[in-house]
Structure 1
Amino acid sequence: MSSSKPKFATHPTWPMDKVRSTFISFFESHDHTFWSSSPCVPHDDPTLLFTNAGMNQYKPLFLGTCDPALKMASLKRAVNSQKCIRAGGKHNDLDDVGKDVYHHTFFEMLGNWSFGDYFKKEAIEMAWKCLTEEFKLDPSRLYATYFGGDDSTPVDDEARQIWLQFLPPERVLPFGAKDNFWEMGATGPCGPCTEIHYDRIGNRDASALVNADLPDVIEIWNNVFIQFNREADGSLRPLPAQHVDTGMGFERLTSILQGVDSNYDTDIFLPLFDAIQRITGARPYAGKIGSEDPEFIDMAYRVVADHVRTLSFAIADGAVPSNDGRGYVLRRVLRRAVRYGRQNLNAELGFFAQLVNTLVELMGDTFPELREREEYVTSIIREEEESFSKTVDRGIVEFKKRCDAMGDNKIFSAEDAHFLYTSMGFPADLTELMCEERGLTLDMEGFEAKMKEEQEQSKIAHLKKMSAGSGKDMRLVAEQTSHLVGQGVDATNDDAKYVWNEDLEGCTIKALFIGRNETEDGIGFVDSISGESGAVGIVLDKTSFYGESGGQIFDTGSIKTSSGATISISNVQIYGSFVLHIGEVTEGSVSVGDTASCSVDYVRRAPIAANHTMTHVLNFALRDVLINNATTEQHGATVDQKGSLVDENKLRFDFSWSGPLTPEQLGAVEQIVQDQINSKIPVDNYVAPLEGAQKISSLRAVFGEVYPDPVRVVAVSPSPITEMLGNPQDSQWNAYSVEFCGGTHLKNTSEAEGFVLLSEEGIAKGVRRITGVTMKDAAIAMATAAEIEAKITAAGKLEGLELEAQIKLLTVELDGVSISAAKKIQLRDTLGNYGKQVVAWKKAHAAEQTAKVCDQVIEAASSTEGNKVVVRCDFGVDGKVAKAVTTAYGKKIKDKALFLVTADEAADRFMVVAFAPKDVADVDCKAWVAAAIEGTDGKGGGKKDSAQSTVPGVGAIDSVLEKARGF
């Protein structure tokens, strides 16, 4: 290695922004369309925790399920720099970050794609030209790998022959499936890949070092050739359309171009290191690893810098730290960074959040969402950082407790580590470090096994839903959609889904599906079906059924053929341009080509539509109540939709907000929605050009959602959408709900009849969830509220023990009913006030009772000779009254000890109390009580001057009194 090579990139000739723009410009000059990075949080892909590769957003194109109305559907070639996170799931580099100089949890993937356009020859040629001509990398330092084949898949000799046009044979190397064969999953699209590796040192034969996981010979680019479909039996079927998916590590390429040995030594990270040094006061970053960094200072620099990138981009893209899923991973990332900063850099609490601004200045121009959401990102990180300091304190206490219980055992169990992690948020790596300090070993293998067991939960839940409970795989993926296209089946026309109360006649059955791998060819299509077919799928040329999408559940109903067959439809799904009706044949048999009619269950659809329209109004109401009336601390906060679910029973709406809504806010939101129902506002929809529709001032769009062009606009407004499009910035539109939406809606808000906001709760850091109902469910909730309110009002006329009993009954009943959340809070407050009345009554009653008993006891003492008074005064088994009586007695009577018996007839028990004033020294109260209750099951205790006991069975009172008098 040259001694003149700089340690860190200073004033580089290839600054990071130039590297990125050069790559994109190169492929744009080769007819690629620039396609912006998708969020690193894939909100529309439940199979991924995070976007972990550039191809993720293009999966619908690879699978043949892309909505043809989307602009993406027309893509042939694309290029971008994709934001990626690998900190959980299959691709997880979290635990390696900091230990070396090339792992990251957040990184950018430079990529170019071909969707059924060019293939291996063009892809390899463009990659070579980009690297050697555009970036001017030394060709002698480049090595290419290709798939060397295995028992089931042949060698990719085509890729090898192409590479031999640019590289000598000794630098074109075969590798196995682990390195050079890509698969989307256990089944589905897959294909061989060719990797390009770069030797940082040069002037040597480094072929033996390729794929040896060494920082000096690194993979920089991977070209995947998607040409097969992996079947359930493991065999490969050629795809009808072949694709190219490439990815080049932006950080690695930048380090090469800037002439440094590590990604962390580039201008991508150095400004962050400067900020860390300034905020913490630690020594400057020196790039040390392993034994050269005994205090882990440089490791901490890398961890903190990498993790603030991950957290900031993930939060800006809509994720938040929480206790499950991707939120759980983010919480771990944040806590790992904070721990290293506090422990190894001696940082003060709050240091981590201060780094966000530096990252925004560094990358906010390239990724403007960082700049737009800087304040929000900073606030979330600050809250988590403060919360973690408390978690660490609690976790250390629990850790020590469990260590103390281990005895001589030197293995800290996986179960204990799992408890600390899942119940207290205590990082496993911190547990491991603390174990090492105590000479213990953490069962990390067992811990990871428990975590893996959790991660494997519910992976096929969606499949079960698609299968109508049959156990079949009823999905249409690339092979099925390609088959339909190959058979000349046109896209399903579902325009009639917006028609109400009208059967759709004249439909033609274009395809019949009985499930993947249910036919000999594995594709699943047949010519005819009957009741014996079980779960079936039907593709029509046109339909009036709504396929599940946009958070709205599917329609149900039936399809009837002209020959008299009937198919009961229980599920409707959309796959690319095809609508699949899933159900069972209940009468007759069905064949491809049959004429049919669609009968939607419009009675079921009505509450779905009401719930959907009121979800839009709810979204509007939340913005009006929370944003327009935000506190100083909430200034700049946003109410962004984080998810929704609409079915026939309820609406569920998730949104960003920093804390619980107050009862007043809940009531205000509910009232706005109800007012819009009462105002009988028209609900308009219109398909408009996307660019024009986006200009409407009050438009609400879901963050991260990709919308078609043209797009359907739904407005709850007395003014038509066409008028809004003519003057989109008019402030009057701010008084109404306007959203992009493809769902089915009401024609007028009055059709919703009523709205009740049932609950509001937090589901993640900074994310709240509201559940509500409309129509008959709202009416039931209102009637239930009126009924229980009447009971509570009636109870208010009672007092004392009767009121107390009613409070207990009504509290249980109130907790179990579904009524307005605001009304429930109000009624709970009323019951709380009743409770205070009961406390006051008890206090007054006890005082009155105490005075009465005191009078009786003192009177008895006055008429008793000797130094002992034995008396029965029934006031129940109440220790407080008994204490008050003996205190008052002691102030009046100085020369006589008291033995008091009081019964609770209803509970069939009684209490005995003995008390001796100071002047009565020859009476032992404890012995007195013991002698009196001898032979009973009484239990109690005391001392010489005061004792008491409770005895079951009031039948023993006379015997106890007699023994007490004879003591």
Structure 2
Amino acid sequence: MRTAEIKRRFLAHFEANGHTVVPSAPLPAISDPNLLFINAGMVQFVPYFLGQQTPPYARATSVQKCIRTPDIDEVGKTSRHGTFFQMNGNFSFGDYFKSGAIPLAWDLATKPVEAGGFGLDPERIWATVYLDDDEAYDIWRATGVPAERIVRRGKADNFWSMGIPGPCGPCSELYYDRGPAYGREGGPEVDEDRYLEFWNLVFMQFERGPGTGKEDFPILGDLPAKNIDTGMGLERMASLLQGVDNLYEIDEVKPILDRAAELTGKRYGVHSGHAANESHPDDVRLRVIADHVRTSLMLIGDGVTPSNEGRGYVLRRIMRRAIRAVRLLGYQDRALPELLPVARDCMAPSYPELAEDFGRISQYAYAEEDAFLATLRAGTTILDTAIAETKSAGRAALSGDKAFQLHDTYGFPIDLTLEIAAEQGLQVDAEGFRRLMADQRSRAKADAQARKTGHTDVSAYRRIVDTTGLTDWRAYTDLTTESTIVAILTDGEPVPAATEGQIVTVVLDVTPFYPESGGQAADAGHLTGPDGAGEVIDVQRPVKGLVAHQVRVTAGHLTVGARLTAHVDAIWRLGARQAHSGTHVLHAALRQVLGPTALQSGSYNRPGYLRLDFAWPGGLSVDTRSEVEDVANQALRDDLPVTAQVMPLTRARELGALALFGETYDEQVRVVEIGGAWSRELCGGTHVTHSSQIGLLALTGESSVGAGHRRVEAVVGLDGLRYLARERDLVTQLAAQLQAPREDLPERITALLGRAKAAERRADQLARELTAQRARRLAADAVQIDGTLVVSVVAAADEDPRQLAELVRAALAQDRPGVVAVAAPAERGTRLVVATTATTPDALSAVQLVRSALGGRGGGTARLAQGGAPGLTADATLATVAGLIRAG
């Protein structure tokens, strides 16, 4: 029975028994801050179990997509671990309990196939119950399970929770006896390979508190109602009904594994001679590929894109483990174009949307593979050298400095460094690596804090809040307020006053100024009072609820307790509102043109200008950029209403308001709409009241900000008009200089560039010929040192030292030992390249000569090496090389 059919039968059985079929929630656990991904079938129903929300149905059933990654390193080592799986579940919210759940499960499991069931032999099914759960025991007996096949087990096995505070309760598990070929007789307590668990019925009636492990947590009390949460592993049931050993052999996984084996020329499951419970490395890697490719397909399908943080990092790690496993099996070409379509065909019967959206999914996947292959080429060479040096020095661990350099400079993931080092029998100074990472984060955090507060200790602001209360903030309604100075700070210390010329931090009791937040730049404006005035040059919110103004005192003095007028520059605010609303319009236009997965990942806007970062795997074509610009300006022309309202976070989610992944929000949030549902986002910024007030929106740039993420920049309002005017003037100037009509400019410029490139190629060819002639002359003038032909030369400023060295070596007699040393002045030192002929003895190895001449610096092979060192002249370096050759 195919997996898709098992899924269909499960849902049909429970729908026929009064359950509402609920679609799977997307894999990213957006609604639960404790989870990156949905990891259990009941996650989307937690608010109902806890009584936080009223369920719209008393009974539900679903087949939930799940991801579990804590043991990702174990995937493939056995046939039991996987990252993506599907959990069939039926749920009761205060409706039926044990006496309803147990018969429903038994009926579906044992009902004949021709009657719509799974047809499992009832004589081979075992049940387990919690130690003191006599009620479940009696129901199983009444159902027909004999006492000898009902096992009582403890809290570690038969008491369920998610591992975090929340619902919990005793459970009852169903096991199927696969026969003596799979292990010892005696039930689940004896052998859980032979007796395979396929269904877990959780009798959810308690709420647990924090704790560790499966047993160390307190029971806080009863839930508002007794509930049922069951989970039947779809992959496990598929392995039972398809007569295969494990999840890697079912119809949704095995074709991927088979294609990987075909590509790499390996055979799965034929190896012998390994210890019990230990798989052959080839089998491990094939399982890693099959699992991780399928998981990547499902994650990208649900909107996750590769990145260096959060969910995106998990996806990136999974994809890179699969790609590297393919390469370790000997296949060096791009693998995902061969494997991902197979995964699509496996999963599309259950999830047809994967086939419909495969163009987008494959774009992200193939771009990530290309980026990773480039990283591998750069990082692996450096890592291999570091491993060799570590081993030659007799050390057992790669230094944390080297691991950090690989990560920070070359983008080489630390988990990959750990894996490769382990394969070479080395450890990695992970503690040193983590320390360097922590130092880097601390520096970044300190830099950011310095930019925001001028190094002011935020505890000073907390004291202000404790003394005078929170700021009465009126940025949404006013441009001017009558205010009182409640505090003035200089270098983090409160002062009573500030005089002309000083730059200080001023806290007001009431303010109309918008502090920098949500990607919007801070307001500009002035403070004016009877005794002094100041220019507001920055506004921040250093602690929640308090607004701090950085002020340059321009006249007189400002004093704590003084009354003054706080006035926002109206032109500045208008430009800021245009830019922020323009950001929302551009986001909506991108999603309309590219699709709903083109989600914002960051933004910045100031008067007249905006930039928006969003998830997308490749650059936008000229036509696509034009279409996005047209959609945005159509929205401006349509004069869409712009509204903002505060509502509960749950209501905002129900409306589909967009929020940034990774951001945390209060229970009450502000939702900004432009044209109703066309653009609906959580936002705390200032906005226009109608889209036409933005004026116009002109895209000025589009670029990459990392794998899978793009950035678009635009100007709005008068700045947009000025930008287009400058573009017009530039085209006019080019047309006049080239004496060509505007419409002919692209063709004329292309022709000019073609001629220029042809001239560059001719010049390069001439330079190569001149270098080759010089190389032949240098080879002819080679001197002999103890029977070795030696050429020492300082490269000219326009010569490539490596190319010159290789050309001279090629011109030397190849049947004689020969050494070519080319030095070139570099910034604060010298660059040295050494090339040797094939007959040169090992004592004159190129890499050894370079390192000896440069004090240990440099790298390469015995035939070609290079390096650089500060404080050396070219002539002195060549003299050192000559002395080394004489010393032999």
Report the TM-score when normalising by structure 1: 0.51
Among candidates 189, 194, 199, match of residue 177 of structure 2:
199
Alpha-carbon distance between aligned partners in 2 of 1:117 and 1:772, rounded to the nearest angstrom: 55
* Greater mean deviation of Cα atoms: 135-144 or 101-110: 135-144
**What's the counterpart of residue 136 of structure 1?**
119
Q: Confirm whether residue 122 of structure 1 aligns to residue 100 of structure 2.
A: yes
Aligned equivalents of 1:101, 1:287: Cα separation in 2: 15
Alignment of 1:374-385 (within 5 A): 374-385=358-369
Residue 403 (structure 1) aligned with residue 362 (structure 2): no
Q: Does 1:261 align with 2:245?
A: yes
The residue that corresponds to 1:805 in the other structure is: none
2:117 is aligned with 1:159: no
Change (3 A) 1:469 1:762: farther
* Offset, 1:114: 1.6
Share of identical aligned residues, percent?
Answer: 36
Q: Structure 2 counterpart of 1:188, which letter?
A: G
Residue aligned with 1:102, SS: coil
Match of 1:335 among 297, 320, 325: 320
1:900 is aligned to none
How much does 1:113 deviate? 1.4
Q: 1: distance between equivalents of 2:271 and 2:573?
A: 62
Partner of residue 391 from structure 1, selected from 375, 379, 402: 375
**AA matched with 1:112:** N
CA distance in 2, matches of 1:210, 1:241: 31
- 1-structure distance, mates of 2:358, 2:621: 26
Shift of 1:767: 2.9
1:230 shift after superposition: 2.9
| Cα distance per residue 1:444-488 (max 9 Å; x no partner) | 799899999999x99xxxxxxxxx999xxxxxxxxxxxxxxxxxx
Q: Does 1:146 align with 2:129?
A: yes
Gap change, CA 1:714 and 1:393, over 3 Å in 2: closer
1:214 offset after TM fit, Å? 4.1
2:678 maps to 738
Distance, in Å, in 1 between the alignment partners of 2:872 and 2:436 is 49
* Alignment check: 8 A CA contact 2:62 2:88 kept: yes
Q: Distance in 2 between matches of 1:263 and 1:402?
A: 39
Matches of 1:209 and 1:50 in 2, distance apart? 33
| Map 1:789-804 → 2, pairs under 5 A | none
Task: Write the distance in 2 (CA, Å) between the matches of 1:197 and 1:608.
Answer: 63
SS of the counterpart of 1:41? coil
| Superposed displacement of residue 660, structure 1 | 5.1
Paired residue for 1:76, among 38, 50, 58?
Answer: 58
Change (3 A) 1:31 1:668: closer
Which residue of structure 2 lines up, in the alignment, with residue 322 of structure 1? 307
Question: 2:15 aligns to what?
Answer: 28
Q: 2:193 aligns with which of 215, 220, 242?
A: 215
User: Structure 1 residue 176 and structure 2 residue 154: aligned?
Assistant: yes
User: Residues 382-422 of structure 1: CA distance to partner in whole angstroms, max 9, x if unpaired?
Assistant: 22223322322333223234335532222335665566467
Cα 1:943–1:52 change in 2 (3 A) is closer
- Whichever residue aligns with residue 271 of structure 1, its letter is P
Quickly say closer, same or farther: Cα 1:758–1:74, change in 2 above 3 A. farther
The answer as to whether partners of 1:414 and 1:443 remain within 8 angstroms in 2 is yes
1:18 partner SS:
helix
Residues of 2 paired with 1:437 and 1:747: CA distance?
Answer: 62
Question: 1:107·1:251 contact (CA, 8 Å) conserved in 2?
Answer: yes
Which segment drifts farther, 21-30 or 160-169? Answer: 160-169
- Residue 259 of structure 1 and its aligned partner are, at CA, apart by 2.2
Equivalent residue for 1:246? 230
Per-residue CA distance 1:889-940 (angstroms, 9 max, x = gap) = xxxxxxxxxxxxxxxxxxxxxxxxxxxxxxxxxxxxxxxxxxxxxxxxxx99
Task: Provide the C-alpha distance between the structure 2 equivalents of 1:422 and 1:943, rounded to a whole number of angstroms.
Answer: 36
Q: Hey, what's the Cα distance between the residues in 2 that align with 1:176 and 1:611?
A: 61
How far the C-alpha of 1:142 sits from its partner, in A, is 2.5
Higher RCO structure (Cα 8 Å, ≥6 apart): 1
**Number of paired residues?**
587
Aligned with residue 748 of structure 1, among 690, 713, 727: 690
Q: 1:580-603: CA deviations, max 9, x gaps?
A: xx999xxxxxxxxxxxxxxxxxx9
Q: Distance in 1 between matches of 2:331 and 2:96?
A: 52
Give the 3 Å change call, closer, same or farther, for CA 638–114 of structure 1 in structure 2. Answer: same
Alignment gaps of 5+ in structure 2: 112-116, 211-216, 446-460, 464-475, 479-517, 521-543, 547-569, 645-654, 662-670, 728-796, 798-870, 877-888
1:440 alignment counterpart: 426
Q: CA deviation at 1:684?
A: 8.3
Alpha-carbon separation, structure 2, partners of 1:393 and 1:445: 26
One-letter amino acid matched to 2:9 = T
Specify the SS of the correspondent of 1:341. helix
- Which deviates more from structure 2 when the two are superposed, residues 119-128 or residues 754-763? 754-763
Partner AA of 2:597 in structure 1: D
Q: Distance in 1 between matches of 2:326 and 2:399?
A: 27
| Higher Cα radius of gyration | 1
C-alpha contact (below 8 Å) 1:42/1:49 kept by paired residues? yes
Contact 2:303 2:597 in 1 (8 A): no
Q: CA RMSD, aligned part only? A: 5.5
Alignment match of 2:40 (pick from 38, 44, 53): 53
**1:449/1:623 CA distance change after superposition, 3 Å:** closer
Q: Deviations over 1:168-201 (max 9, x none)?
A: 4443333333333333454333222222222211
Report SS of the residue matched to 2:108. helix
SS at match of 2:40: coil
Q: What is the rounded CA distance, in whole Å, between the counterparts of 1:128 and 1:420 in structure 2?
A: 55
> SS where residue 107 of structure 2 aligns?
helix
Say whether 1:365 aligns with 2:343: no
Contact 1:335–1:427 under 8 Å retained in 2: no
3-state secondary structure, aligned to 2:355: helix
Contact 1:23 1:110 in 2 (8 A): yes
- Distance in 1 (CA, whole Å) between partners of 2:331 and 2:202 is 44
Kindly indicate whether residue 283 of structure 2 is the aligned counterpart of residue 298 of structure 1: yes
Q: Give the residue type in structure 2 aligned to 1:75.
A: Y
Counterparts of 2:273 and 2:66 in 1: how far apart (Å)?
A: 25
The aligned runs of 1:875-914 (5 Å cut-off) are: none
Change in CA separation of 1:453 and 1:320 when aligned onto 2, cut-off 3 Å:
farther
Please tell me the residue identity of whatever aligns with 1:393: R
In structure 2, the CA distance between the partners of 1:783 and 1:384, relative to structure 1 (3 Å rule), is closer
2:596 & 2:43 partners in 1: Cα distance? 27
Alignment of 1:645-664 (within 5 A): 654-659=613-618
